[in-house]
Amino acid sequence: MNTMRLSSLSLALSAALALPAQAQSLVDLYQAAKAFDANYQSAKSLYEANLAKGEQAQAGLLPSANLAMGVNRTNISSDMATFDRGSYGNQSATLSASQPLYRPANRATAEQGKKQAELAQAQLTAASQDLIVRVSQAYFDVLASQDSLNFVKSQKTAVAEQLASAKRNFEVGTATITDTREAQARYDLVLAQEIAADNDLRVKKIALDQLTGKTPSTPKAMRLPVNLPEIAPNNVTPWVNQSEDIHPSVQQARLALEVAQLETQKAQAGNKPTLDLTGSYNITKNNGTSSTTLDYRNNVAAVGLSFNLPLFAGYAIQNRIKETLALEDKSRSDLEAAKRGVAQATRSAFFGVQSGLGQVKALEAAEASSQSALDATKLGYQVGVRINIDVLNSQSLLFDTKAKLAKARYDVLVGGLKLRQANGSLKEDDLAAINALLIP
């Protein structure tokens, strides 16, 4: 009985291992890449480090406290009894604390720390958007290569049928050897294309595996027919205007300008006074001294204000202010350059998606026309008004159009994500709309 159960379990396990790998959606592979991609993990670690660095800047506004303790022992021996003191020593402990009351430079540093945290968030957002685009590009590269390989295989089957037909016609004397040789040449060419397409698919799958950590990754194909989403809004101006407010690069440049302005405030604070509240409590216990053998203890408490006013520092403060003002102007120019660059990238991406949608519609019409042309050419070949090379050319044109159409659809979907990345609005939720176009 136990043997039968073990055999059944072994068969079930073998059957499970024999099943093909479950296909993954775009969202599935993106989530896998978030946990695996080294570049994103590096950006995430940098984000956490920058958050901690920003918190460090708050220390200049908070109180500080220190505890110091000391023990010493002295031994004096002499051949004269008068100076032969022996051993004595003391123990001491001091608790000191201070609270900044007026330090404008420290306050500016604390504000810079807050900007540092915002800057870290913008950098992580940019890394997340970059990962979305990289995963989507690799995902659809695999699908495009898979489609190309399937189309080449279909073309090989069609050419093989045409080759067999040409051979039969030659054998019965209704066609010349030229038809056979043309079909054979086209068949050999398709074989070479199949080898290249198969290798390209293998390379694209390796790239996706390396990005997501899934081996092997199996992307879900797109459902056909498909209605690609239109651009909304279908006007480039709102996209550009939005980019000036939310794009991570613009945000980073704007924060860099604010940090530079705070740096100028810190430099100007070099001419201002500082005021701190200080306090200390000291306990000292003496076990005699060099002149007495009495033990005694001292307790000393102190509280006060520490005021400092810079008078002259060799023009260092004035030159530091000039430096920070120049760096402030540089940051302002960098912000303007970032806005212009993002606006240009947004316009290019917008018109690229518009062009892609137009190409998809044109290629869909071309596919229908190519199919009609092939059917007509085959009919003409059967009745003798067309030759074999006409059929082969029509077949090549049809499958080439199919491959270009599939690639154009994928380019539109990735282009839509790149458009959102270009204007800074790309989010993980944007992948859900693409996931709806895939086979469940």
Residues 297 and 430 in one domain: no
Angle at 121 between CA 118 and CA 125, to 5 degrees: 140
Query: Domain ends where: 309, 334, 354?
Result: 309
Query: Domain ends where: 248, 283, 309?
Result: 309
Place of tokens 């990345």: 421
Domain count, the chain: 2
- Where is pLDDT greater, at 76 or 151? 151
Read off the tokens for 278. 């200080």
Q: What is the DSSP letter of 269?
A: G
Q: What average pLDDT score do residues 379-388 get?
A: 83
The upper half-sphere exposure of residue 12, i.e. CA atoms within 13 Å in the direction of its Cβ, equals 6
Q: Give domain status of residue 131, yes or no.
A: yes
Q: What average pLDDT score do residues 245-268 get?
A: 95
97-127 burial, b if ≥16 CB within 10 A, otherwise e?
eeebeebbbbbbbbbbbbbbbbbbbbbbbbb
Q: Give domain status of residue 152, yes or no.
A: no
- Alpha-carbon distance of 193 to 152, in angstroms, equals 7
Instruction: Look over the chain and give the mean of its residue pLDDT values, rounded to a whole number.
Output: 89
- Name the 3-class secondary structure at 98: strand
Where does the pLDDT of residue 16 fall: very low under 50, low under 70, confident under 90, or very high at 90 and above?
very low
Residues 372 and 279 in one domain: no
Residues 236 and 110 in one domain: yes
Whole-number percent of the chain with pLDDT over 90: 71
Q: What average pLDDT score do residues 217-234 get?
A: 90
Residues 237 and 324 in one domain: yes
Read off the tokens for 120. 């870290």
Which of 229-233, 246-250, 255-259 has the least mean pLDDT?
229-233
Residue-wise pLDDT for 263-294, tens only, equals: 999 999 999 999 999 999 999 998 877 666 77
Where does the pLDDT of residue 71 fall: very low under 50, low under 70, confident under 90, or very high at 90 and above?
very high
Residues 292 and 408 in one domain: no
Q: Give domain status of residue 159, yes or no.
A: no
- Alpha-carbon distance of 166 to 263, in angstroms, equals 82
CATH number at residue 133: 1.20.1600.10
Domain that holds residue 416: 22-62+104-141+166-171+205-272+316-435
Residues 97 and 123 in one domain: no
Q: Give domain status of residue 190, yes or no.
A: no
Q: Give domain status of residue 96, yes or no.
A: yes
Angle at 49 between CA 54 and CA 422, to 5 degrees: 90
Q: Would you say the pTM of this structure is higher than 0.75?
A: yes
pLDDT of 18 > 60? The answer is: no
- Name the 3-class secondary structure at 91: strand
Say if CB 158 and CB 395 are below 8 A apart. yes
- Where is pLDDT greater, at 349 or 9? 349
- Name the 3-class secondary structure at 386: coil
pLDDT of 2 > 50? The answer is: no
- Alpha-carbon distance of 114 to 51, in angstroms, equals 9
- Name the 3-class secondary structure at 304: strand
Q: What average pLDDT score do residues 100-113 get?
A: 94
What pLDDT shows up at residue 11?
38
Read off the tokens for 283. 């306990």
Q: Give domain status of residue 46, yes or no.
A: yes
Residues 302 and 372 in one domain: no
Where does the pLDDT of residue 8 fall: very low under 50, low under 70, confident under 90, or very high at 90 and above?
very low
CA nearest to 359, candidates 412, 306, 322: 412
Residues 279 and 367 in one domain: no
- At 285, the amino acid letter reads K
Query: Domain ends where: 255, 286, 309?
Result: 309
